[in-house]
Amino acid sequence: MEKPEQEQRRRNLIRSLNGQLLGKLLVVAVLMFGFGYALVPMYKKICEITGLNILTPKDASVDESGNTQVDTSRTITVEFDGNAQGPWRFRPTVSSMQVHPGELVHMLYEVVNTQPRSIDAQAIPSYAPQQAAAFFKKLECFCFKQQTLGPNEARQMPVVFYIDSKLPKNVKTITLSYTFFEISRDGKKAG
């Protein structure tokens, strides 16, 4: 058994060693933080010297204004509808959305061929009210060309559009409706 005096010295020695270790760990942590902080400018300087990873800086004279053609003072409700004239399921992935005139909008229609054979089809759009058709501008649409659906194929088809800001102020809701028809191989509507 140790004497109380020796026990006290041993405890003091352990405290002293623990304090020294804590001090060394704090110095290492501060040095690691400093190195990490200095790493970014060092990396930029190395890249500048070697000619690697040179990024074109932003031109300060360019104004980052948004699309000035979007009329955020107006909101139009666009409703989507899908009608199937053939052996498939056809529907929009959303039933409606709120858009501003001039805003570029992306949305999807989904079609599923329920037959074990390939089918050729064409989508025909219609608009309500009819006067809105002239202001509904489609940039991309599955209705622009004939679609061939493989046996039991499911597909999502995009429509990218904007509404012309010249749309009459009294029009608050537009319905975009597609009817998907089966057509024969020669391009005519199937019986």
pLDDT in tens, 153-162: 999 999 999 9
**pLDDT above 60 (res 60):** no
Measure the CA–CA gap between 163 and 105, rounded to whole angstroms.
9
User: At 185, is the pLDDT very low, low, confident or very high (cuts 50, 70, 90)?
Assistant: low
Question: What are the backbone angles phi and psi of residue 45, rounded to the nearest 5°?
Answer: -65, -45
pTM of the model: 0.59
Mean pLDDT of the residues in the chain = 82
Which residue carries 């229609």 as its tokens? 109
Instruction: Report the pLDDT value the prediction gives residue 54, as an integer from 0 to 100.
Output: 44
Measure the CA–CA gap between 51 and 4, rounded to whole angstroms.
69
User: At 78, is the pLDDT very low, low, confident or very high (cuts 50, 70, 90)?
Assistant: very high
What mean pLDDT is predicted for residues 64-88? 80
